[in-house]
Each structure stands twice: as C-alpha cells, then as structure tokens.
Amino acid sequence: MIRVIGALLIALFTVSCAHTKLAPAPMPVIHRIALIPATNPPWYTFENATLPVGYPFQFWVNKIDSHSKAYRFNAAVDPGKSPIGDTLTRVVEQHLREQGFDVQVVRDLVRSVNDPDNIDEDKIASDSDADAIVHVWVAEVGMYSGHLSTKYIPRVNLGGKMWVKNQEDNLFSDEVDYGVDAKKGKPLEIVADERYRWGSFDELMSNIDDVRSAYANGIQLAAARLADQISAAATAANAARLAAPTAKND
C-alpha cells in the first residue's frame, strides 16, 4: 500500500510539473541605459571603382591605384585627429538624455587592439545593473567613387544595437548610412550635401578642409538619426511592457 501511494504521489507531481511553465524573465521598463562607447577609426577607406575597361588587367591597375591614393588621402585627412567615435558616443548620449533616459557610459572596457568594437556583450550585460545596454560603433568612414560616378563622395556608416539581459532578441540592431551608400527617402540613410563631391583625386586633395567638414557634418547627422532610432525602440518597448497583462502560470 505504501508503495502504491508513493507511486501515485510521484505521478501527480510529474503531471503538475508538466503543466507548470517557467515564465521568461519579464522585460524591464527601460530607464537606465548603459552605453558602450564607439572607438575612433584609425584608417579611412578609399576606393575609385572605375569600370575595368581600356586594356587588360585594368581591374588590378585600379586596385593598386586606389591603394596608393588611400595612403596619400589618409596622410592628408589624418583620422587620428578626428574624434568621430567620440562624437558618435556624445551625440547618442545627449539625445537619449534629452528623451528622459538615465545614461551611463561604460568606460572600463577591455578591448582587442585589432578589433576594439568586438566586445564581450554577455559579460557587460551580466555586470551591468542597467535596464538596457546600447552599443554604438563606427562601421566605416571613407571616400568612394562608384562605377557610374565621376565624383568622389564621402561615406560615414554607423552601427548600433540595444538589448536587455536575459532576453534573446535585440530591441534594436541596425545601421545608419551617410553619403555614398544612402538613398533619398530612407529613414536610416542620409544623402550628403551636394557640396561634398569632388570630381578628381587632385580636386579632393586640394580641399581637405572641406573633406573634414563633410565627415564632421556626416557624423553629427548620422549619430542623431541613430540616437532617435534607439530612443524610439526603447520607448516602444516600454509602451509594450506597460500594456502587457501580468504573466500567469497555466
């Protein structure tokens, strides 16, 4: 009899456990944001993608020519003196604060020398008591002349993502493009001003101050657009969290 009762109790406990669902960690209302700052790119890309026509091996001639000009371009514009990553971080921080979020920039990060924006996101999330973590970075800065273009056009591409610890999906993950990669009418793309276009390499090199101005303008506009997208994602998540009914076990 004791064995029979014991077996029944085990069976009832097993059935009870089968019907009990472990609720996922609730999404917090986002107020405090830990911001992982961007780093300053040490090198700007440079390419003149002229169609490989004219004589054999023109493609490789163009590649070698672009490589040579890239060094001359970087020496002239001097990326080391342009705090693009710092500007991106400052603009995003400022815009998020203006939207009512409490932002703390994470300064004590261990970064790889060769890939400083490839960070241990899980560790940062586990160590942080913020409601959400935001990481912003400079995807690419450079100058490009396409196959069908006679102009050199600047490129400033910024990336960003936002996530909450113990949640599988990112609340936001996207890129804002300024300049040559942008198309009109796209919310995450910003077309560069017409004055930031140069018809030849010599013209480009003769207007380095204007090139620096193009990058300064691009980073401000793209960073603000990125910050607005992150803020909108956080606000939408908060609205959904507040509207959601209290989770209950089945």
DSSP assignment string, the chain:
-HHHHHHHHHHHHHHHHHT---PPPPPPPP-EEEEEPPPPPS--EEEE---S-SSTTHHHHHHHHHHHHHHHHHHHH-GGG--HHHHHHHHHHHHHHHTT-EEEE-------SS-TT---HHHHHHH--SSEEEEEEEEEEEEEE-TT-SSBEEEEEEEEEEE-TT-SS-SEEEEEEEETT--TT-TTEEPPPTTS-BSSHHHHHTTHHHHHHHHHHHHHHHHHHHHHHHHHHHHHHHHHHHHSPPP---
Domain membership flag for residue 8:
no
Domain membership flag for residue 134:
yes
| Mean pLDDT (whole number) for 119-125 | 83
Report the share of the chain in percent with pLDDT over 90.
Answer: 61
Domain membership flag for residue 42:
yes
pLDDT of residue 95: 97
pLDDT of residue 244: 77
| Mean pLDDT (whole number) for 17-31 | 62
pLDDT of residue 24: 53
Q: Give the structural domain span for 233.
A: 29-242
Higher pLDDT among residues 29 and 26, named by residue: 29
Query: Residue 205's closest CA among 77, 81, 40?
Result: 77
| Mean pLDDT (whole number) for 146-159 | 88
Give the mean pLDDT of the chain: 85
Domain membership flag for residue 14:
no
Higher pLDDT among residues 111 and 215, named by residue: 215
pLDDT of residue 60: 54
Domain membership flag for residue 115:
yes
pLDDT of residue 103: 97
pLDDT of residue 2: 52
pLDDT of residue 245: 72
pLDDT of residue 138: 97
pLDDT in tens, 31-41: 999 999 999 99
Domain membership flag for residue 158:
yes
CATH number of the structural domain spanning residue 119: 3.40.50
pLDDT in tens, 74-115: 999 999 898 999 999 999 999 999 999 999 999 888 888 888
Domain count, the chain: 1
Q: Does the pLDDT at position 50 exceed 80?
A: no
Domain membership flag for residue 10:
no
pLDDT of residue 127: 86
Question: CA separation (Å) from 241 to 39, 122, 132?
Answer: 33, 23, 14
Domain membership flag for residue 13:
no
Q: How confident is the model at residue 200 (pLDDT cuts 50, 70, 90)?
A: very high
Higher pLDDT among residues 159 and 54, named by residue: 159
